[in-house]
């Protein structure tokens, strides 16, 4: 059977990994290439690289880093951040990315998903949605969680999947950085709305949070986190062993 | 030297890097002369079957591949490259493949339960079946490899080296003489995948 995936996320700015709490107060953590290699050896099932650089210099640095990583790390790599056109897809796919996640780029230009899916296949296109409750309604936020688009999130995600997105990363702004567990209510709503894989993001603070995630919502395919892995609060090896002990199907390396 | 066939389908960066990682020389090429001089051949591929089969035919590479295989040269098809080894595919139409292995490519949806997600994407365990032709000599049954596919090879039981369980046993690897195929991506399957590529690289055919 297919395993639940554990995915460390590396936010990269100017060639270094950073992680913000509620998207603010960024800290420089480590070298992306070293971290990626380390995680791969620890049993990470996939890696997500988010380019949070705005400048073209930073972008060049990011693709260089991506290439360096792809030369050393032989697990699936997903890239996001600054993806606005199919040329951006091309740029990162040539550097070793397997999947490309779009967020603000798809909000600005909803046909982006459709165009990219036609060129590279559905399996290559990931919709990443930053979602926050506003007056009891799930709303899609843009620009790294700073701008409320006013769009209702479940409808937006359904539309993206209908256009060809092959996977959904759901990042709950409400639970992100709080470390009190994933946003189960929000995830449940998304899992019931789409039939493609759903990756939970935002809120993981300890191993128990992943166990709760997969036990409560068996439809969720993967759990994504950043700082708890980067700062060594949760080791991927221990996490996967704990999940296996709970009879959750994971890939254990021998 | 290994020839990685470039026929304009998919991204060969990771595949090339994986050969560097195992210390094997690999050349990305569409030149028949280079392919003839290679010790073995990799047929990669991502995308739609019909389009890929057409590109192989138009470039004449289909003929080159068949000739080299007939000479005894090892050929490994990966993902769509594996599917192209078969006789026929029903992916968005009906298309002819290379016909090197008996069987047909059909939608996964035909055989798996309705509540299973499509594509079959992620890490799944290999269940060994018939002779692996040495491909799995450095790995163990139950090792995990990375899959991304919506179609599968059917009617090839006797040449099936491994399957993966996804509500139904899906063909994961085929071996027929010097023709090998993996539905999964060895270049994205960590150390297990690299070990499979290393085993394949120990096979060598006539260099002419």
Looking at residues A235-249, what average pLDDT do you find?
A: 96
Q: What's the domain count of chain B? A: 1
Mean pLDDT of A154-179: 96
The average pLDDT across B133-145 equals 97
Paired tokens of A77: 């790599």
B206 occurs within a structural domain: no
In this prediction, residue A253 carries a pLDDT of 77
Q: Do B193 and A72 touch (CB under 8 A)?
A: no
pLDDT at A71 > cutoff 50: yes
Q: What is the pLDDT of residues A77-119, one digit of tens each?
A: 999 998 999 999 999 998 999 999 999 999 999 899 999 998 8
Q: Whole-angstrom Cα distance, residue B182 to residue B18?
A: 15
Q: Which CATH number fits domain A5-245: 1.10.287.370, 1.20.870.10, 3.20.20.70, 3.60.150.10?
A: 3.20.20.70
Q: Which residue of A has its CA nearest to B10?
A: A120
Token reading at A217: 């919502």
Residues of A known to be catalytic: 11, 130
Which residue among the candidates B104, B149, B185, B201 is catalytic per the annotation?
B185
Burial (0-12, 13-18, 19+ Cβ within 10 Å), A114:
middle
CA distance A135 to chain B (A): 33
CB-neighbour burial class of residue B167 (10 A; exposed 0-12, middle 13-18, buried 19+): middle
Q: Is B110 on the interface with A (CB under 8 A)?
A: no
Sign of CA dihedral A163, A128, B183, B13: positive
Q: How many residues does chain B have?
A: 208
Residue B92 pLDDT level (bands cut at 50, 70, 90)? confident
Predicted pLDDT of residue A38:
86
Buried/exposed A129-168: b ≥16 CB within 10 Å, e otherwise: bbbbeeeeebbbbbebbeeebebebbebbbebbebbbbbb
Whole-prediction pTM value? 0.93
Residue A143 has pLDDT above 60, yes or no: yes
pLDDT at A145 over 90: no
Whole-number pLDDT of residue A254:
67
Across residues A134-149, what is the average pLDDT?
93
Q: What is the mean pLDDT of chain A?
A: 91
A90 touches chain B (CB under 8 A): no
Active site residue B94: no
Nearest chain A Cα distance for residue B87, angstroms: 23
Distance from CA of A147 to the nearest CA of B (A): 32
Any CB–CB contact under 8 A between B187 and chain A?
yes
H or E, element range at B144? strand B144-149
What whole-number distance in Å separates Cα of residue B19 and Cα of residue A146?
43
Mean pLDDT computed over A109-131:
93
pLDDT reading at A191 higher than 50: yes
Give Cα separations from A55 to A48, A75, A81, B117 (angstroms).
20, 28, 12, 38
Of A3, A45, A93, nearest to B11 by CB-CB distance is A93
Region B161-179: mean pLDDT is 98
Measured between beta carbons, the chain B residues lying within 8 angstroms of A89 are: none
Name the pLDDT band for B135 (thresholds 50, 70, 90): very high
* Residue contact B121–A2, C-beta within 8 A: yes
> How confident is residue A22, by pLDDT bands cut at 50, 70 and 90?
very low
pLDDT of residue A186: 98
What are the sequence ranges of the domains in chain A?
A: 5-245
Mean pLDDT of B105-130: 95
Provide the CATH number for the domain around residue B9.
Answer: 3.40.50.880
Sorting pLDDT into bands at 50, 70 and 90, what band is A224?
very high
Number of Cβ atoms within 10 Å of the Cβ of A218? 11
A177 — pLDDT class (breaks 50, 70, 90) = confident
Of the pLDDT bands very low, low, confident and very high (cuts 50, 70, 90), residue B48 is confident
Distance linking the first and last C-alpha atoms of chain B: 12
> Residue A197's closest CA among B42, B43, B204, B122?
B122
Share of chain B above pLDDT 90, in %: 89
Instruction: Note whether residue B143 is domain-resident.
Output: yes
Task: Judge contact between A10 and A73, C-beta under 8 A.
Answer: no
Give the residues across from B105 on adjacent strands.
Answer: B89, B153
Whether A24 shows a pLDDT value over 50: the answer reads: no
Bigger pLDDT: B56 vs A24: B56
Residue A5 sits at the chain B interface (C-beta within 8 Å)? yes
The mean pLDDT of chain B is: 95
| ipTM > 0.85, yes or no | yes
Q: Supply the pLDDT for residue B144.
A: 98
CB of A93 less than 8 A from some CB of B: yes
Q: Is B156 a catalytic residue?
A: no
**More confident position, A25 or A187:** A187
Percentage of chain A beyond pLDDT 70 is 94
CA distance A123 to chain B (A): 7
CA geometry: angle B40, B200, A92, nearest 5 deg: 85
Cα atoms in the 13 Å half-sphere on the side-chain side of B192? 26
Residue A21 reports pLDDT greater than 50 = no
**pLDDT score for A25:** 39
Q: What is the mean pLDDT of residues B153-165?
A: 98
Give residue A176's pLDDT band: very low, low, confident or very high (50, 70, 90).
very high
Give first-to-last CA distance, chain A, whole Å: 18
pLDDT tops 50 at residue A23: no
Find the domain containing B67 and state its range: 2-201
Question: Above 60 in pLDDT, residue A29?
Answer: no
């Amino acid at each position: 059977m297919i395993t639940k995936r554990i995915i460390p996320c590396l936010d990269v700015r100017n060639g270094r990994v950073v992680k913000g709490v509620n998207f603010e107060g960024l800290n420089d953590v480590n070298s992306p290439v070293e971290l990626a290699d380390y995680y791969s050896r620890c049993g990470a099932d996939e890696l997500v690289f988010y380019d949070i650089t705005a400048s073209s210099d930073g972008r060049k640095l990011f693709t260089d880093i991506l290439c360096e990583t792809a030369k050393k790390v032989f697990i699936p790599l997903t890239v996001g951040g600054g993806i606005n056109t199919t040329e951006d897809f091309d740029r990162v796919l040539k550097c070793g990315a397997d999947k490309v996640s779009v967020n603000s780029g798809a909000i600005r230009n909803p046909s982006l998903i459709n165009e990219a899916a036609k060129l590279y296949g559905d399996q290559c296109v990931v919709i990443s949605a930053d979602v926050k409750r506003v007056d009891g309604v799930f709303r899609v936020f843009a620009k790294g969680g700073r701008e409320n688009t006013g769009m209702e999130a479940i409808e937006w995600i359904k539309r993206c999947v209908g256009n060809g997105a092959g996977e959904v990363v759901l990042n709950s702004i409400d639970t992100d950085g709080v470390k009190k567990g994933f946003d189960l209510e929000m995830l449940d709503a998304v899992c019931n709305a789409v039939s493609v894989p759903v990756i939970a993001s935002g809120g993981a603070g300890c191993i128990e949070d992943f166990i709760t995630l997969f036990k409560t919502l068996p439809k969720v395919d993967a759990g994504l986190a950043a700082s708890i892995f980067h700062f060594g609060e949760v080791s991927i090896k221990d996490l996967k062993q704990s999940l296996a002990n709970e009879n959750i199907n994971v890939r254990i390396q021998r | 030297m290994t020839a990685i066939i470039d026929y304009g389908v998919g991204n060969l960066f990771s595949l090339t890097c994986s050969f560097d990682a195992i210390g094997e020389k690999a050349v990305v090429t569409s030149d028949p002369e280079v392919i003839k001089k290679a010790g073995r051949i990799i047929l990669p591929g991502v995308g739609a079957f019909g389009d890929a089969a057409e590109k192989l035919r138009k470039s004449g590479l289909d003929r080159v591949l068949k000739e080299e295989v007939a000479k005894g040269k090892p050929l490994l098809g990966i993902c769509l490259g594996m599917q192209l080894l078969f006789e026929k595919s029903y992916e968005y139409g009906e298309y002819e493949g290379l016909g090197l292995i008996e069987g047909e490519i059909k939608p996964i949806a035909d055989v798996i339960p309705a509540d299973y997600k499509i594509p079959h994407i992620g890490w799944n365990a290999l269940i060994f079946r018939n002779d692996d032709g040495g491909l799995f000599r450095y790995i163990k049954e139950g090792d995990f490899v990375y899959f991304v596919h919506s179609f599968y090879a059917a009617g090839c039981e006797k040449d099936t080296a491994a399957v993966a369980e996804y509500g139904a046993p899906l063909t994961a690897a085929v071996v027929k003489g010097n023709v090998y195929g993996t539905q999964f991506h060895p270049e994205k399957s960590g150390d297990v995948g690299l070990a499979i590529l290393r085993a394949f690289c120990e096979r060598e055919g006539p260099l002419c």
